[in-house]
């Protein structure tokens, strides 16, 4: 999912926080609407993330399609209504529900199809996470996180779901190919939450709704709904999220890969020859079939 278009930027570049970037609006028919972000918008500071789409889908939109060299991640928000039907060449036919996460490590190659069940309204993030070269040719695998099992941190003015990784002593799911933290946070008015970002991790912060200020040391970015900032790797630091009125934010953080790659749509391999070989293998049916 996603589209490249005109980028609206506000703010100024600083030592670790990128400028605030407004997502590119991407609509397909009456059944799909998204705010799209890609790694080019953040000058490398989004690594290991390649793309994030914040979307609402109410009708089938995308045909079955191939991924390779990346993980394709669907993170469902809690206000999703109904089921998101997920089928892939690993043999899965799943119904993802509100609060769930599905992580498809496509690696050497896997195809999937995702569509809402009749009457459903899917509110979610679709995230493409790069894989290092040493993992790009491994067999595909997957991870499912049940939203009911996600740890929740509740305090004065905040409620934060630790979907992946850890924040402080609270740990969510850790079975991703490389370390990744995903926090789904809600701030009251006023609200405040601090995430300790470990050394040499990059992060990406997004305002789903409301207005959120992100502070790292003496730097601050104020994010309106639909805007994001990236935090470059460096010394360990506290990331503080603040809001004066109700707001919803997401934080994604991981170790940057810093390797060259070749993109061909949803295929991200180390070389153009790897891309060609993957497409041939898919055409020959070597990655399996999607269940009917």
109-156 residue pLDDT tens: 999 999 999 999 999 999 999 999 999 999 999 999 999 999 999 998
Q: Give which of 288, 265, 274, 292 is closest to 110, Cα–Cα.
A: 288
Full set of structural domains in the chain with CATH: 12-283 (2.60.120.10)
Per-residue model confidence (pLDDT) at position 202? 97
**Which pTM does this prediction carry?**
0.92
Distance CA 141, CA 112 (A): 12
Residue 285's φ and ψ, nearest 5 degrees, are 75, 20
Q: Which residues in the chain show pLDDT less than 70?
A: 1-14
pLDDT of residue 98: 98
Q: Shortest CA distance to 123 belongs to which of 207, 38, 34, 26?
A: 34
Total residues found in the chain within this entry: 292
Rounded distance between C-alpha atoms, residue 264 and residue 253, angstroms: 25
CA distance 188 to 50: 31
What SS3 state is found at 195?
A: strand
Q: What are phi and psi of 40, to 5 degrees?
A: -65, -25
CB atoms within 10 A of CB 152: 12
What local confidence, expressed as pLDDT, does residue 11 receive? Answer: 40
Q: What is the DSSP string of 267-281?
A: EEESSHHHHHHHHHH
Task: Tell me 229's DSSP state.
Answer: E
Position 7 scores a pLDDT of 37
DSSP label of 33: E
* Cα–Cα distance, 99 to 34 (Å, whole number): 18
Nearest alpha carbon to residue 80 among 64, 63, 49, 102? 102
What separation in angstroms does the CA of 61 have from each of 1, 41, 50, 205? 9, 25, 21, 27
3-class DSSP assignment, residue 283: helix
Distance from C-alpha of 183 to C-alpha of 170, rounded to nearest angstrom = 11
Task: Indicate the SS3 state at residue 111.
Answer: strand
Residue 29 pLDDT: 92
């Amino acid at each position: 999912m996603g589209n490249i278009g005109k980028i609206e930027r506000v703010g100024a570049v600083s030592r670790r926080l990128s400028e605030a970037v407004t997502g590119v609006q991407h609509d397909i028919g009456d059944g799909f609407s998204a705010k799209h972000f890609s790694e080019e918008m953040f000058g490398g500071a989004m690594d290991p993330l390649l793309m994030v789409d914040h979307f609402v889908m109410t009708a089938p939109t995308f045909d079955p399609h191939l991924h390779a060299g990346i993980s394709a991640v669907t993170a469902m928000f809690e206000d999703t209504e109904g089921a998101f039907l997920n089928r892939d060449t690993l043999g899965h036919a799943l119904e993802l529900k509100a609060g769930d996460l599905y992580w498809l490590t496509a690696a050497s190659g896997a195809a999937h199809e995702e569509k809402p069940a009749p009457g459903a309204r899917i509110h979610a993030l679709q995230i493409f996470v790069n894989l290092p070269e040493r993992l790009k040719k491994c067999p595909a695998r997957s991870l499912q996180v049940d939203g009911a099992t996600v740890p929740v941190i509740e305090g004065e003015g905040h409620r934060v779901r630790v979907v992946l990784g850890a924040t402080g002593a609270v740990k969510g799911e850790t079975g991703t190919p490389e370390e990744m933290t995903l926090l789904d946070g809600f701030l009251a008015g006023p609200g405040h939450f601090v995430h300790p970002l470990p050394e040499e991790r990059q992060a990406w912060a997004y305002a789903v709704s409301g207005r959120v200020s992100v502070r790292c040391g003496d730097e601050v970015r104020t994010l309106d709904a639909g805007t994001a900032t990236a935090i470059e790797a460096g010394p360990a630091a506290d990331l503080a999220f603040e809001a004066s009125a109700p707001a919803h934010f997401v934080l994604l953080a991981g170790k940057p890969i810093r390797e060259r790659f070749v993109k061909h749509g949803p295929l991200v391999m180390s070389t153009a020859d790897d891309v060609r070989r993957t497409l041939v293998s898919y055409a020959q049916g070597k990655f399996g079939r999607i269940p009917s």
